[in-house]
Amino acid sequence: MTTTLTRLRGPLTFTALIAAAILVLPHLLEPFRLNLLAQYLCYAIVALGIALAWGRGGMLTLGHGVYFGLGGYAIAIHLTLARTATDPLTPDRLPQFMVWSGRTELPWFWTALTHPAAAIAAAVLVPGALATLLGWSVFRQRVRGAYFAILNQALAAAFVILLIGQQHLTGGSNGLTDFPVFAGHSLYSPTAQTTLYTLTVLTLAALYLLLRHITRSRYGKLLLAIRDGEDRVRYLGYDPTWAKTLAYALSAMTAGIAGALFVPILGIISPTLVGVIPSIMMVLAVALGGRHSLAGAATGAVLVNAAQTTFAETFAGGWTYLQGALFVLVIALAPQGLAGLTHHARGALTRPRTPTPEPTTTGSPT
């Protein structure tokens, strides 16, 4: 009986958390706070992918804002087209920034995202395709460690430069905003916002279960071996290139899904949300929560973003310093993150105490 309860404790706890998030929190939080929580959960989805690539595969990814942005812009383009389709002041469905730039027709990739199914597919597949191409190109050259991290950061910087420079195609530094409808349904109603929140919770839960299964499979064990000794894995006859590329692509697709959910929740996408700084913040949140734990990484993302909102509201000018101090303390005192602290605390509480042997006395018989 005890063994059965121990085995079911994890699934029951997970189910209870999801049920509470869907059934209880929408009634406890006001719409503004519920919307903020939905945004935090989108970043938690990104954290799951980073935990797979970095925590399990040893690939420090400092450019996940690119994949988050690709997913976000794919949905934003579709939502912009949905708005212009019902606006009599937009000739040929051209957004205002394209008209001001002198364009007379939609770009081909805008036209391809007219249908919502195409936009959703692009939000997932385009980040995955780019990550596959980049991963295969660099991993077969045995690029890893700091060099791979710098390459990712350079990709994020180039992505922002491209978005700002191609203003007639992307909206430039202003980005894309004002999304009233999706698939014929209003996004401004309280019901729509609650639905988006519920969808985000369910997506986070599904991706957590999927990535958890992957990390516990034989492929997950291979990733772990590559992380701890890539040259040894090559010596044993395995090619780490495709194993690492697959993990990196899955991580990018996860970020694309998060970006696709984030845009209708926030109502805007711009280069400031997908550049170098946001990419670094995503990684730091995972480091805080614990990169070796999927649950820890997701929790860290929620806590960091919630703390940023809370402290920014209270200490608008001092949040950056508080944030820096927080990360220094975590890295110095808890390099495994909050998940590592929790694991050590649980082990200390459940570890059986060794009974102290009673002293024995020896004496002569009387």
pLDDT score of 6: 62
| C-beta separation of 317 from 324 below 8 A | no
Residue keyed to tokens 């799951």: 48
SS3 content of the chain, % helix, strand, coil (to 5): 75, 0, 20
Residue keyed to tokens 């990360």: 327
pLDDT score of 335: 64
- The helix/strand/coil state of 69 is helix
Residue keyed to tokens 């042997």: 357
- The helix/strand/coil state of 242 is helix
Angle formed at CA 66 by CA 74 and CA 274, multiple of 5 degrees: 90
Eight-state DSSP code of residue 112: T
Cα–Cα distance measured from residue 203 to residue 208, given in angstroms and rounded to the nearest whole number? 8
Give, for all 366 residues of the chain, the pLDDT tens digit.
556 656 667 788 888 989 999 999 999 999 999 999 999 999 999 999 999 999 999 999 999 999 999 999 999 999 999 888 777 666 667 888 888 888 888 999 999 999 999 999 999 999 999 999 999 999 999 888 889 999 999 999 999 999 999 998 999 999 999 888 887 778 888 889 999 999 999 999 999 999 999 999 999 999 999 999 988 998 888 889 999 999 999 999 999 999 999 999 999 999 999 989 899 889 989 988 888 999 999 999 999 899 888 877 777 666 667 777 777 777 677 666 666 666 555 665 666 655 555 555 554 444
Residue keyed to tokens 């708005």: 83
H or E element: which one contains 342? helix 337-350
pLDDT score of 366: 42
pLDDT score of 145: 85
- The helix/strand/coil state of 28 is helix
The DSSP string of 101-119 is TT--S--HHHHTT-SHHHH
